[in-house]
Structure 1
Amino acid sequence: MTHEVLEIDRVSKRYGEIVALQDMTFQVRAGELFGFVGSNGAGKTTTMRITLGVLAADSGEVRWGGLPITFQTRRRIGYLPEERGLYPKMKVLDQLVYLGELHGMSTNAAHRSAENWIARLGLRERRNDEVQKLSLGNQQRVQLAAALVHDPEVLVLDEPFSGLDPVAVDVMSQVLREQAAAGVPVMFSSHQLDLVERLCDRIGIVRNGQMVACGTVDELRAGAPPQLVVDAPDAPAGWANGLAGVTVVEQVGTRTVLELAGDADDQAVLRAAIATGPVREFSRSKPSLTELFRNVVTQEKTA
Structure 2
Amino acid sequence: MDPGSKSIEVEHVREWKTQIQKDCSESLLWMMGGETCLWSSDRRQSNGRSCEAQSATVAEVWLWQVGSWKAVGRLQSHSLTVTQMEFSHDDKLLLTVSRDRQFSIFAIKGTGTEEISHELIARKEAHKRILWACSWNPHGYEFATGSRDKTVKIWGVENQSSVNLLLMLPPFKTSVTALSWIGLGNNRSNGLLAVGMENGLIELWNLFINRINDRSTKAPPATAALFARLDPLMCHVSAVNRLAWRIPEKSDKECSNLQLASCGADHCVRVFDVKTLPDKMGRGMKQRASVRKRQ
**TM-score (norm. length: structure 2):** 0.25
Structure with bigger RCO (C-alpha 8 Å, 6+ apart): 1
* Higher strand residue share: 2
* Higher helix residue share: 1
